[in-house]
Amino acid sequence: MHEMSVIENLIPLLKRICEEQKAYRVVSVQLRIHPYSCLDQENLNFMFSCIAENEPRLKDTKIKVVRSSENQEREYIVDNVELEIE
């Protein structure tokens, strides 16, 4: 599952951001994806919620996908992380 590898890479990144920013939780994450990517927002959100359900800072985080209009080297780029700061 391709979405699974994205989630597995995203979770440690978000945990690190929470620690660095002293965030209470992650509200949303915006991913800019390659125009020909097969990543799907609904599947990413479902998988993320299943995997992160026991992580209080990541629970209820929403993943938003924006398809890039131009080719980019990587399949996805984390564009924005919205945090709730303590």
Q: Measure the CA–CA gap between 84 and 63, rounded to whole angstroms.
A: 15
Q: What is the pLDDT of residue 32?
A: 95
Q: Supply the angle between the helices 2-21 and 41-52 in degrees, to the nearest 10.
A: 60
pTM: 0.90
pLDDT in tens, the chain (86 residues): 588 999 999 999 999 999 999 999 999 999 999 998 999 999 999 999 999 999 999 999 999 999 998 888 888 999 999 999 97
Q: Measure the CA–CA gap between 78 and 83, rounded to whole angstroms.
A: 14
- Kindly provide the residue ranges of all beta strands, DSSP E only, lying in the chain, ordered along the sequence: 23-33, 62-67, 76-85
For residue 76, give every residue at least 6 positions away whose Cβ sits within 8 Å of its Cβ, in sequence order, or none. 6, 31, 32, 33, 34, 37, 39
For the chain, give every domain's residue range: 2-85
The CATH code belonging to domain 2-85 is 3.30.2320.50
Q: What is the pLDDT of residue 2?
A: 85
